[in-house]
Structures are given as structure tokens and as C-alpha cells.
């Protein structure tokens, strides 16, 4: 279990939202565009990751890995973040926030499902009501930044139109129309600009150009030494 606390940003104001998460699922290989999906598969192949048996795939992950921290600790220097929209099922409605499927790339090369369980899964502290963004979901912009050689550079960027629609992903998981209360779903990511690579800091955001607002979160990565 994990307890998530959000500043719920609605058209009518701000509300505090607390959700106990018991089920965490990461939807992978969720691209709508076949060519873009194949590109993502190929870039992962380049670092030794085997292609999926089908698309999309739903990876169950321990809910205790969820965190809203500003710093995470990982083993070694072979992990990196991927920005994703995250759906959070509450008792009264569905929320969307920004998250990072932080993944150990060395482990991923021999077992994607195992790699999902190795690193913390970071989510932001602000969220939007899903019903307020669903009508223009495809216009939302997913973006991440990393720090390289002392500079902040764009690492991922693209419209959510490139990812399968949330209701399609929800239905594909359990065949249900709604995400159950107490469940959180990572919905997929964008290809990296350049090679997949680690960074000591990962910044992520979802921009809503229609309503003029942005969800943001960032975290530092502490690499722990590998000893034997």
C-alpha cells in the first residue's frame, strides 16, 4: 500500500486529495503510432531489451514503490526515468498526475517485468480531474528534462495523442470501464531524444495548452555503490 496526497487542481479551485493505492500497474508499449512504437522497441533493443510478446502489456508492480519524494536512491548508475501520465482512481472520481517509471536498464536487458520492480516510481504532488482534460486529452504535452554536462536539456517531448487513450488502456487491463478506487496506472511514455541515458536529476511535466496550466515534478537520483 502507498498513500498519495495531491493538490487537486480543478476549474473551481483547489482541493486536497488523499488516496490509498493498493494496485499499481504500468501499461507498457502503449503507442498509437505503429512506426513510433517500433522505434521505441528498437531503441530498447539497442540496450539489450527483448521485444514484448504483445502490445500493450500491463506490468503489475508493488504499490509500495510509489513515492512523491524529491530524491530517490537506486543501485548503480544504470537507471533512468521515463515521464508518463498517471491515472489515479479515487472513491469519487479519476485523477491524472505526472509520473516517472524510473527503471534499471541493466536489469531491463534480461527481464522487463523484473526491472519494473527494482526502482521507485515517482509521481507528482498535483493532479487534475480527468473529466476536465479528457475532451482535449490528445492536446496535452508530455515533456521531461535531464541534466548533462551542467546543462538542462529536453529528454522527451510529445503530444498524448501518440499514446493510447486512457479509457482504452483501462479497458485493456481488466475489461472494466473505470479504474477502480485505490488503483494507479502509468499510461506510457515518449521515445527519448537521443539515446536512453541516466541523469542525476529528472524533471517531468504535463502541459495543458487549452486550460493554460502545467503539472510538474522533479527529483534527484542518488546512485548507491554496488558491492560484492
- CATH superfamily entry for domain 2-223: Fumarylacetoacetase-like, C-terminal domain (3.90.850.10)
User: Distance of alpha carbon 180 from its chain centroid, rounded?
Assistant: 18
Q: Tell me the pLDDT of the chain averaged across its residues.
A: 94
Report the distance separating Cα 151 and Cα 145, nearest Å.
10
Domain parsing of the chain, residue ranges: 2-223
Give the residue-averaged pLDDT of 125-143.
98
How many Å apart are CA 114 and CA 123, to the nearest integer?
20
Report CA torsion sign: 94, 203, 192, 141. Answer: positive
The pTM score is 0.93
pLDDT at 35: 82
Q: What is the rounded CA–CA span in Å between residue 124 and residue 114?
A: 24
Asked whether residue 54 carries a pLDDT value surpassing 90, the answer given is no
pLDDT in tens, 61-101: 999 999 999 999 999 999 999 999 999 999 999 999 999 99
Using CA atoms, how far apart are residues 31 and 164, in angstroms rounded to an integer?
A: 6
pLDDT at 130 over 90: yes
CA 213: distance to chain centroid? 19
Q: What is residue 8's predicted lDDT score, i.e. its pLDDT?
A: 94
pLDDT digit string (tens) for 15-44? 999 999 999 999 999 988 878 778 877 877
Question: Quick one: pLDDT band at residue 47, thresholds 50, 70, 90?
Answer: confident
Amino acid at each position: 500500500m502507498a498513500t498519495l496526497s495531491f493538490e487537486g487542481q480543478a476549474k473551481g479551485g483547489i482541493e486536497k486529495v488523499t488516496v490509498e493505492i493498493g494496485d499499481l500497474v504500468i501499461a507498457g508499449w502503449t503507442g498509437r503510432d505503429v512506426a513510433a512504437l517500433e522505434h521505441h522497441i528498437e531503441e530498447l533493443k539497442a540496450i539489450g531489451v527483448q521485444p514484448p510478446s504483445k502490445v500493450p502489456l500491463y506490468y503489475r508492480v508493488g504499490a509500495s514503490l510509489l513515492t512523491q519524494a524529491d530524491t530517490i536512491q537506486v543501485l548503480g548508475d544504470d537507471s533512468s526515468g521515463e515521464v508518463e501520465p498517471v491515472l489515479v482512481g479515487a472513491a469519487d472520481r479519476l485523477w491524472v498526475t505526472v509520473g516517472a517509471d524510473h527503471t534499471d536498464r541493466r536489469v531491463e536487458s534480461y527481464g522487463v517485468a523484473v526491472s519494473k520492480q527494482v526502482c521507485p516510481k515517482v509521481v507528482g504532488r498535483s493532479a487534475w480531474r480527468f473529466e476536465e482534460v479528457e475532451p482535449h486529452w490528445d492536446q496535452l504535452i508530455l515533456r521531461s528534462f535531464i541534466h548533462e554536462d551542467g546543462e538542462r536539456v529536453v529528454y522527451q517531448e510529445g503530444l498524448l495523442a501518440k499514446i493510447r487513450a486512457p479509457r482504452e488502456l483501462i479497458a485493456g487491463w481488466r475489461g472494466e470501464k473505470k479504474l477502480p478506487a485505490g488503483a494507479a496506472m502509468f499510461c506510457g511514455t515518449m521515445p527519448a531524444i537521443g539515446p536512453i541515458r541516466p541523469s542525476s536529476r529528472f524533471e517531468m511535466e504535463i502541459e495543458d495548452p487549452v486550460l493554460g496550466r502545467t503539472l510538474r515534478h522533479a527529483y534527484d537520483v542518488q546512485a548507491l555503490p554496488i558491492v560484492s
